[in-house]
Amino acid sequence: MTYSEAIQYLYDLAPMFQQVGSKGYKTGLDNTLALDAHFHHPHSAYRTIHIAGTNGKGSTAHSLAAVLQRLGLKVGLYTSPHLIDFRERIRVNGEMIPADYVAQFVETERHFFAPLQPSFFEITTALAFKYFADAGVDVAVIEVGLGGRLDCTNIITPCLSIVTNISLDHTALLGDSLEAIAHEKAGIFKSGIPALVGEATEETRKVFREQADTVGCPLTFAEDQTEVLSHQPTADGRVTYDTRHYNRLTADLAGDCQPHNMNTVLHALQLLEAEGLFADHATMQRAAAEALPQVCALTGLMGRWQTLKQSPMVVCDTGHNPGGWEYLGRRLNNLACDKLHIVFGMAADKDISTVLSALPTRAVYYFTQASVRRAMPADELQTLAAGFALSGQAYANVATAYEAALKAAEPTDFIFVGGSSFIVADLLTMWQQNGWPGAELSPQTS
C-alpha cells in the first residue's frame, strides 16, 4: 500500500470532520479506548502536555513544542487540521511522520478498523500516539481535536492541562453558551495535574473553578498575574515582549492575538518549572529566547498571519470563528495600505454573520469557497455580505479569487486571504504545487 492509497483509505473509511462537519464527529471514548488497548497504551511511554481551547491552541502548542525542542528534548507534536499534507498533524522535532510509516500502519491495521468503524480523528490519534512511542519521544504536545471532555485525546494523563480561551464555536456539538463550552473543555482537567487557563470571562471562570475542585487539581488563571508586561512590533514583522520572568523575548508569531497566547505559553513554562520538569529556570529562559523567534522553522507551523508575498503584500490567516476575527478584523481595519483586497470564504456551519460584522467595509472582496463540502457557496456568501456593506465579486474557487485580487492590486496594496482554514489550505496547497503568478516568497511566517 502506498501513502496515497493509505490516505485515500482513511478518507473513504472515516470521513473527516474537516471535510463534512458533524457527520465526521463521534461522541464517546469507546472506540478510542479499544484502539488504545489494541496498541498497548502507547501514550504511557512518554510525558504529555494537553491543550484545549476555542482559539490559540495551535499557536500555543507549537510555541511550547519549539521551546521543549531547544531544551534538547525529542518532542512529539499532534495538531489539527492539516493545511497541505495529512502528515503535518504528527511531527517529531518538526519533522512530519514518514509517509512509509503511515502506509504501513494502515495496511497492517485496516482489518482491525473495519468492524470498529472509528472516525478519521480516532484513527489519526491512535496513529500519532503509536508513532510517538515508536519514535521514542521524551514528551508530546497534544492538541485537542474538538471540545475536550469527550475528545479522543482525553485518554492521556498529562503533566499539564491547558485551556487557551473560550468563545462560541461548534455550538451544535459543544453547547450554545460560554459556560457549556467551558464545561466541555475543562473536561481535560485531571486529578492532581496542574491546569492552566489562558483567558477567561466571569462566566467561564466559575466553570473552571468548579471542575478543578471536582477533580482535585491546582488551577492557574494566566490573566491574574500577566507574564507579558508590554509588547511592540519589530521592523522585520516580529514582536518583542518585555516579560516578568523571562526577560526580553522576540517571537515570530505576530498576529494581534499572539500576546495573549504568549502570556499562556510563559505561564505554562513556569508551571513546568515548578513541577521540576525538563529544566531549571535559567535553562528554560535560554530555551525560550532561542526558540520563540523561530517557532515556524522549528515546528512547521503555517497559516498564522503568514506572509507570502511582499509587493503587493499578501498575508493569509486561518482565523475562522468570531473569537479569531475579533483580532483579525481589528488588525485589518487598522492596516495602513493604499487599497485592501480580501479573498474570503467560510465554512457554512460557522457564525458567519458575526464574522462579517467584524470585516472592514473599505476593502474590495473576492468571495470564494474552499474545496470541502462544508464550504458556504461563494454566491450565497456574497449576498449575505452585502447586508453588512461588504462589496465584491464571487469566484468559484480560491485560485481564481486570488488571481483576480493579484491582478487588481497595485504594489502598495495589501491582499488578505482567509475566513476559513480550508481557504488557506487551498491557497497554500496550490502555491506549493504550482506557484502563483508573481510569487516572490516560499510560504513562510514573518
Instruction: Tell me the mean pLDDT in the region 31-59.
Output: 95
Question: For residues 49 and 73, what is the distance between their CA atoms, to the nearest angstrom?
Answer: 14
What is the pLDDT at residue 92?
Answer: 98
Q: Would the pLDDT of 170 be above 70?
A: no
Percent of the chain with pLDDT over 90: 72
Alpha-carbon distance values, 265 to 27, 32, 67, 246, 375 (Å): 30, 29, 10, 11, 32
For 356, the grid coordinates are 462579517
For 334, the grid coordinates are 487598522
The distance of Cα 433 from the centroid of its chain, to the nearest Å, equals: 23
What is the pLDDT at residue 13?
Answer: 76
Q: Would the pLDDT of 114 be above 50?
A: yes
Looking at 3.30.920.30, 1.10.760.10, 3.90.190.20, 3.30.420.40, the CATH number of the domain 306-434 comes to 3.90.190.20
Question: For residues 73 and 125, what is the distance between their CA atoms, to the nearest angstrom?
Answer: 22
Q: Would the pLDDT of 60 be above 60?
A: yes
Architecture of the domain made up of 3-299? 3-Layer(aba) Sandwich (3.40)
Instruction: Tell me the mean pLDDT in the region 115-121.
Output: 89
Question: For residues 23 and 26, what is the distance between their CA atoms, to the nearest angstrom?
Answer: 8
Eight-class DSSP state of 357: T
Q: Would the pLDDT of 445 be above 50?
A: no
What is the pLDDT at residue 442?
Answer: 43
Rank 118-132, 309-323, 419-433 by mean pLDDT and report only the highest: 118-132
Contact 160, 185 (CB under 8 A): no
Nearest to residue 379, comparing CAs of 369, 370, 387? 369
For 85, the grid coordinates are 499534507
For 172, the grid coordinates are 451544535
Percent of the chain with pLDDT over 70: 92
Domain ranges of the chain: 3-299, 306-434
Nearest to residue 217, comparing CAs of 208, 225, 226? 208
Please tell me which residue, 282 or 18, carries the higher pLDDT value: 282
pTM of the model: 0.89
Contact 58, 79 (CB under 8 A): yes
pLDDT digits (tens, 9 = 90+) for 317-342: 988 788 788 889 988 998 989 999 99
Question: Minimum mean pLDDT among 171-175, 181-185, 187-191: which range?
Answer: 171-175
